[in-house]
Amino acid sequence: MMKDVTGRDVLFGGKTVVFGGDFRQTLPAVTRGYKEDIISTSLVMSPIWQQLTKLRLKENMRAHLDKNFCNFLLRIGDGTEISNHMNEVKISTPINLPFVDDASSVETLVSMVFPDMEAFSNNPSSIVNRAILMT
């Protein structure tokens, strides 16, 4: 479409396009797709991928206050974190909460991630670096 709009027969009509995000974490949705289907439709598998200029960020700004966690995330993303024979990575104790039962485990998780909700209401920007991610 950009070629048509600009009348130029070059990638994106010669316009600079910025793709944001971590492509290791954001995959396309494929209805009833298997792992291979999802990977094959990702941007990095596209024929244009080789023609793009890639700039890599080396510092995780969201986790900059916790250098160990930041480096851990980068090692996982780069595929250099030590894993077992099933390609599973060991999650360290401070961020790996054992499951007891539904109710108490959820309570423990919420209180670990959000220890003082009242403090967050007084300073909303302090909640920015906290999240509970799940499938």
pTM equals 0.44
3-state secondary structure of 110: helix
Model pLDDT, residue 13: 93
Mark whether 79 and 101 lie in a shared domain.
no
The torsion angles phi and psi of 47, rounded to 5 degrees, stand at -60, -25
Q: Same domain for 76 and 107?
A: no
Q: Does 107 lie in the same domain as 73?
A: no
Angle at the Cα of 29 from the Cα atoms of 25 and 31, rounded to 5 degrees: 150
In the predicted structure, residue 135 carries a pLDDT above the cut 80? no
User: Residues 13-31: what's their mean pLDDT?
Assistant: 80
Full residue range of the structural domain in which residue 20 is found: 2-51
Q: Do both 80 and 106 map to the same domain?
A: no
Q: How many structural domains is the chain composed of?
A: 3
- 47 plus 65 within the same structural domain: no
Exposure string over 84-112, b if 16+ CB within 10 A, otherwise e: eeeeeeeeeeeeeeeeeeeeeeeeeeeee
Asked if residue 46 and residue 12 are part of one domain, the reply reads: yes
CB 126 within 8 A of CB 119: yes
